[in-house]
Structure 1
Amino acid sequence: MDLKYKNVASVYDLVYESRTDDVRFYLDQAVEAAPRRLAEFGCGTGRVTLGLAELLPETRIVAVDMDADEVEVLKDAVRARGIDTVETRCELIQSFEGEGIDLAIAPFRVFQHVVEPTEFEACLRRIAQSLRPGGRFVFDLFNPSIPMLSTTGVIASQTFVDGEGHRIERVVTVNDRDHFRQTQLIEEDYTVTTPEGETYDLHWHYRTRYYFLGEVVPLVERAGFEIVRIDSDYRGTPFGEGEYPGDLVFHLVRK
């Protein structure tokens, strides 16, 4: 059987190719900072990384993610494009070794996958320690939607077709909400149909935590950051003035 999509990581770029607002935002942040050294935490398959390498050919980029499958997809893309400025690492943020970073970013709600606030703070401390004094850190979270927190079940059902005729049906379900710990089980299930009509399934189930603004502010401050501003979207709208629920986009500087 044709197994072009052997795991969820290999489907990722197709699923998220229309999500471009945050990519443009992080690229703009990097161009503005003009860093010599940049660290991207939660790089995934390189949705942002590859654009950074293209726009900033003189910048050394360290791309970090804990998902080995996604890092492999990025490694393949880096090799295919002949990029020699990107170093990929499969590791936890808390284990990251590096210093003198000018700009750090953590796109696409990376910290929603950190289910313990103490672990979140440990990640923030490690990132702060890796930055040079005055270095910048930009990351985003989703702003929790109060109405949605009472719901479970299917939250998305989508169909994608690639250029070779593979049909991918994606169903995303939220289950097992724990309102005390602010966690939820996300189940992403995929059915892939090959051009020849054969089908197979892929699954990615993981637990996430939602954080409210009031929880995150003391974490970043204790970790050694000064908050420059917090936006509610990728267009620079101050938090509280944009559409609800929006996002939490943090602009920080190492103290």
Structure 2
Amino acid sequence: MADLPAIGLGTWQNTDPDACAESVRTALEMGYRHIDTAQYYGNEEAVGEGIAAADVDRDDVFVATKVHAEKFGLAHDEVIEGLEVSLDRLGLDYLDLLYVHWPVGNYDAAETMAGFDELVDRGLIDHVGVSNFSVELIEEAVDHLDAPLFAHQAETHPLLPQEELRAHAKEHDYYHVAYSPLARGNVFDIDEIVDIAEAHDASPAQVSLAWLLSKENVRAIPKASSEEHIRDNFGALDLDLDDDEIERIDDLDQSERFVEREGAPWLDE
């Protein structure tokens, strides 16, 4: 399996074009090598401008975006069209990773995954991913894919640890990519995380990210726009939590979700 950089820059809600482009450039020149965007975010052009402006070779940057049922649709030809539009907006010739953003709308595993396989065969994407899926939906998608599943992206943080999804990723050797890894800032109010951060002279954000990265096959894409937050998040790579600290966070035993939408698979559980 190809390597996916441990920490990427999430760009959700980073919609000011100049600020978005500058945050991407800043992150790349700081050492980030994984940039995550989506058609639905409305910032692919700005993300592309940031990638182009950075003093970093494009081939050294892992770029991911997501096709969305409400933008171009998820039928076979719509997946192809959507990816081509995203590439044009990003100013790129190929994409490292393309996700199905949500399994909603006209998503159909057989037809949608056939579109992804064609994009792989045409060399327009290197890897296939899905986002906001259940284990059952992941397995259905894999059954219709010729290419290997590379990643599943889901809301994951100390208040929503996603044990079942992470275990499935580990068992089947694909990446679990954690979005909203700081629980929309709520990790800053968790006593256990604050205590561990103080013990390491680190931030609660760094502790939360280090906890995620201690899990096998897990990667994280914290959203950040200011240089201060971009740098702070990246510092998690230098933080090693001991087994007791990891267990303290594991034992929080909470299940608080901050991202919801109509048709989300967990609403049927």
Shorter-chain TM band: 0.3 to 0.5
TM-score by length of 1: 0.35
| Structure 1 or 2: more helix by fraction | 2
TM-score by length of 2: 0.34
